[in-house]
């Protein structure tokens, strides 16, 4: 399915979007990838949503990506005698390992790892930062704090610790069970929460073993500080602005977002900008002007994908939210300023033969009358390198591997297509012409660029570029075998 924009849309499924009709409508409205949030819904619900997506994929005869988002460790306070307590600015408040119910002076924090890492002066944020504590003294089983920002603290509210790297693995016991489950289902991407260091990604990769791509969620200051190493270890990135905005001053988040998006693009790895993009559409059929500007800003930055969370999972207008994103994206990408920004932000990459080939393909496409760039890639790397160039013509990525086709649904400008085995470059041209005719309505007089590597099925072998006409004789040529 050819979209009228290059940026991809990720839609989260949930109570508002769990039936076949809604999921198909979401795809028709513009959703390229569906997110299964492992924080909500049991395995039977997740399986049902997964199966519906695959049925929609079969019915529309076009690859659809599925992203399973793992919950990650959840740090929470214990319970209170009266269900809650009021904290005043300047008062003392203790966090400890005592099982007794809390009051206005203390509460249990059942995470010994936090106490092991805390130091005097560290900040503790409760309930998405609505309550802020400063550690005055601490030990192996307690932290005496001063209340910096007070308010109501209640049962099992979340705790953020922005100032230290916690000795916690990114995969909890629940995450490990969920990971094995979604890998059995056959998801295409796995999103890791609570990533602090590249070792967190490698731990997950040892379990995944190539059965899915790994996407790291950047939601902690430690991840921002180690971003280059985390990016190298990951297949993709999600800029999770919600938790970043809790653990960092909110004014820090926009420049961090812009910086991370550019680094992902330079590395030819897809990046999603997520959280509260159209938040008001949970209850309203129309977004705010500020939300539209936020979505547009991410697109102008060159992000690969933009994501809906509660808007499509639990909101009253899930299809309208996707349609709004699609409309904004189409409008932004038709703006001449957008093309100027993409060209100005392009950095030269001439480190390898594949880098040079895809760069030449983009230059030829923009200097001549070429309809599309068609690339063959089993791993998806050639398509990723082509997308990094942000060409002004569509990209058709052809592969024999279904996981590759589905994973590329997350990559800017790429139209993934399943194709037959290749025996020689002439066959590649035939398949490319057929795809251009089917997806783009190419005419015999149109030209396409075909990029491939010989020998076929060899990673990193991209070494051929040909400008080919979409001739009728190529459409009806018999396939080998």
Q: What is the pLDDT of residue 481?
A: 44
Question: What value does the mean pLDDT take over residues 268-278?
Answer: 96
Closest alpha carbon to 190 in 72, 19, 56: 72
Alpha helices, DSSP H, located in 118-217? 173-185, 198-208
For tokens 């996707």, the residue is: 322
| 383 in Cβ contact with 375 (< 8 Å) | yes
Domains by residue range for the chain, with CATH: 8-73+171-332 (3.20.20.60), 84-160 (2.40.33.10), 353-475 (3.40.1380.20)
Q: What is the pLDDT of residue 352?
A: 86
Q: Hey, which residues are catalytic here?
A: 35, 76, 217, 275
Closest alpha carbon to 294 in 332, 349, 267: 332
Nearest-angstrom CA–CA distance, 310 and 316: 10
Residues 371-410 pLDDT 10s: 999 999 899 999 999 999 999 999 999 999 999 999 999 9
Question: What value does the mean pLDDT take over residues 163-182?
Answer: 93
The encoded tokens of residue 454 equal 């010989």
| 35 in Cβ contact with 307 (< 8 Å) | yes
Q: What is the pLDDT of residue 471?
A: 81
Residues 231-258 pLDDT 10s: 999 999 999 998 899 999 999 999 999 9
* pLDDT band for position 44 (cuts 50, 70, 90): very high
* pLDDT band for position 169 (cuts 50, 70, 90): confident
**274 φ, ψ to 5°?**
-135, 165
Q: What is the pLDDT of residue 478?
A: 53
Question: What value does the mean pLDDT take over residues 175-193?
Answer: 97
């Amino acid at each position: 399915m050819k979209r009228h924009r290059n940026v991809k849309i990720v839609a989260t499924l949930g109570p508002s979007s769990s039936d076949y009709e809604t999921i198909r409508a979401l795809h028709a409205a513009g959703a390229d990838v569906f997110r299964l949030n492992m924080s909500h819904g049991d395995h039977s619900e997740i399986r049902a949503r997964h199966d519906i997506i695959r049925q929609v994929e079969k019915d529309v005869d076009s690859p659809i990506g599925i992203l399973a988002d793992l919950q990650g460790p959840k740090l929470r306070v214990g319970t209170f005698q009266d269900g809650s307590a009021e904290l005043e600015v300047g008062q003392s408040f203790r966090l400890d390992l005592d099982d007794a119910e809390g009051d206005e002076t203390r509460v249990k924090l059942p995470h010994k790892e936090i106490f092991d890492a805390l130091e005097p002066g560290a900040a503790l944020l409760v309930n998405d930062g609505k309550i802020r504590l400063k550690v005055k003294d601490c030990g192996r089983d307690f932290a005496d704090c001063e209340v910096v920002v007070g308010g109501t603290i209640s049962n099992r509210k979340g705790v953020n610790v922005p100032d230290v790297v916690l000795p916690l693995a990114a995969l909890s016991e629940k995450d490990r069970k969920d990971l094995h489950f979604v890998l059995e289902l056959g998801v295409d991407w796995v999103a890791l929460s609570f990533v602090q260091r590249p070792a967190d990604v490698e731990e997950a990769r040892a379990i995944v073993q190539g059965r899915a791509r790994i996407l790291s969620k950047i939601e902690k200051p430690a991840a921002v500080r180690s971003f280059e190493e985390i990016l190298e270890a990951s297949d993709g990135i999600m800029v999770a602005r919600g938790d970043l905005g809790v653990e960092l001053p909110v004014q820090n988040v926009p420049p961090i977002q812009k910086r991370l998006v550019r680094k992902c693009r330079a590395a030819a790895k897809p990046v999603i900008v997520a959280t509260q993009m159209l938040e008001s559409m949970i209850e309203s059929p129309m977004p705010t002007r500020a939300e539209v500007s936020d979505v547009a800003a991410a697109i102008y930055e060159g992000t690969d994908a933009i994501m809906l969370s509660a808007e499509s999972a639990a909101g009253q207008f899930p299809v309208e939210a996707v349609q709004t994103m699609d409309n904004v994206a189409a409008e932004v990408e038709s703006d001449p300023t957008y093309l100027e920004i993409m060209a100005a932000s392009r950095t030269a990459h001439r480190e390898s033969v594949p880098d040079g080939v895809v760069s030449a393909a983009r230059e030829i496409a923009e200097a001549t009358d070429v309809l599309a760039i068609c690339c063959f890639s089993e791993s998806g790397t050639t398509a990723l390198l082509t997308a990094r160039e942000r060409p002004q013509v569509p990209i058709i990525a052809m592969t024999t591997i279904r996981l590759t086709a589905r994973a590329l649904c997350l990559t800017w400008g790429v139209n993934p297509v399943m194709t037959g085995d290749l025996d020689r470059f002439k066959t590649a041209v035939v398949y490319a012409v057929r795809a251009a005719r089917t997806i783009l309505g190419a005419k015999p007089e149109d030209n396409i660029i075909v990029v491939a590597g010989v020998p076929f099925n060899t990673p990193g072998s991209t070494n051929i570029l040909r400008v080919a006409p979409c001739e009728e004789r190529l459409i009806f040529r018999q396939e080998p075998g």
